[in-house]
Amino acid sequence: RVIVVGSANADLVVAVDRRPGAGETVLGADTVVLPGGKGANTAVAAGKLGARVALFGAVGTDAHGQLLLDSLRNAGVDTALVRTVDRPTGIAYITVTPDGENSIIVSPGANSAVADIEPTMLDTAAVVVGSLEIPLPVVEHAMAAAAAHGARPVLNLSPATEVSAATLAVLDPLVVNEHEASWLLGGRTGAATELATELRTLGPRSVLITLGARGAVVADDQGTIEVPAPSVRAVDTTGAGDAFAGALAAALAGGAGLAEAARQASRVAAISVTKPGAQPSYPLASELGNAGT
């Protein structure tokens, strides 16, 4: 099965005409509360595709924690490894302006209490997929433990963070978007295929760069392949990267090769941008035609 090691946040979203400056108050529309966080989103994406998946993470005893647990369970995600701790559930405070731009404050709360995964929890894992928004050492430990246990370590290095060479060396693949790729390469820009080749020199066994509407690039020992995204009318790209990571992990756990898994993930993520929100926008296997995982 897939084990996702990552965050769970309640997204508190408010639309405003403009963002307030220092010392200023502006009135917004009604608050919308949505289940989110990169880890929970990734797990829900895999679960909705029918993959066997568990989230390793933490929530608080509050209503936001319950919202997240309900959303995970509704998507078929095993929550036995989600600890309930005496901290507020993580919250992302999101303001959206009419130009579609977000400003986001993340208060990690319970996500800061996620501790190292027990190796025995990985006994049934084929793929372990990590992301940040939880303590970096916990993610690095999980990637090493996965590799030692014969599970495939996949890291969505988002938000971009500096990780050790030892962690990079086990990743198969390292998953980043274009901004994160450029950041990891000290601000370098260029063709995605070149960035992917450069990223491989940092040590990962394979690299996957997501390119928004342009799809993704995969680089491994077999070479570098461009994977297109289906052309869609994008209405909300929130959580597209998480949908990609979850679908990728589901396909890899199902035995797909990396290029095939990336193709599947690109289709799933493209569908997710055609609907508002993150988790509610993720497709079920039945919505993918005959190519479900």
In this complex, which beta carbon is closest to ligand ADP, that of residue 61 or of residue 274? 274
CA–CA distance, 44 with 25 (Å, rounded to integer): 35
Q: How many residues bind ligand ADP (CB under 6 A)?
A: 19
Question: By beta-carbon distance, which residue lies closest to ligand ADP?
Answer: 241
Among 76, 212, 224, 236, binds ligand ADP (CB under 6 A): 212
Among 5, 146, 269, 278, binds ligand ADP (CB under 6 A): 269
The contacts of residue 6 (CB under 8 Å, 6+ apart) are 37, 38, 39, 40, 42, 43, 55, 56, 57, 129, 130, 131, 132, 133, 134, 139
Among 143, 151, 229, 252, binds ligand ADP (CB under 6 A): 229
CA–CA distance, 123 with 95 (Å, rounded to integer): 41
H or E stretch at 64: helix 63-74
**Closest approach of Cβ 245 to ligand ADP, in Å?**
8
H or E stretch at 250: helix 240-253
**Is 99 assigned a catalytic role?**
no
CA–CA distance, 152 with 274 (Å, rounded to integer): 30
Residues forming a β-bridge with 176: 209
In this complex, which beta carbon is closest to ligand ADP, that of residue 240 or of residue 250? 240
The piece of 35-43, 103-111, 124-132, 231-239 that touches ligand ADP (CB under 6 A) is 231-239
Among 241, 254, 283, 292, binds ligand ADP (CB under 6 A): 241
Among 49, 85, 142, 270, binds ligand ADP (CB under 6 A): 270
Which residues inside 148-207 make contact with ligand ADP, applying CB under 6 A? 158, 177
User: Residue 273, interface with ligand ADP (CB under 6 A)?
Assistant: yes
User: Residue 216, interface with ligand ADP (CB under 6 A)?
Assistant: yes
CA–CA distance, 219 with 292 (Å, rounded to integer): 24
Omega into 159 within 30° of 0, i.e. cis? Answer: yes
Residue in the structure block whose two tokens are 């302006």:
97
User: Residue 244, interface with ligand ADP (CB under 6 A)?
Assistant: yes
Q: What letter would DSSP give residue 20?
A: -
User: Residue 237, interface with ligand ADP (CB under 6 A)?
Assistant: yes
The piece of 66-74, 86-94, 159-167, 269-277 that touches ligand ADP (CB under 6 A) is 269-277
Q: Which residues of 251-270 are buried (b: 16+ CB within 10 A; e: fewer)?
A: bbbbebebbbbbbbbbbbbb
User: Residue 210, interface with ligand ADP (CB under 6 A)?
Assistant: yes
CA–CA distance, 132 with 140 (Å, rounded to integer): 10
So which residues are the catalytic ones? 242
Q: Which residues bind ligand ADP (CB under 6 A)?
A: 158, 177, 210-213, 215-216, 229, 232, 234, 237, 240-241, 244, 266, 269-270, 273
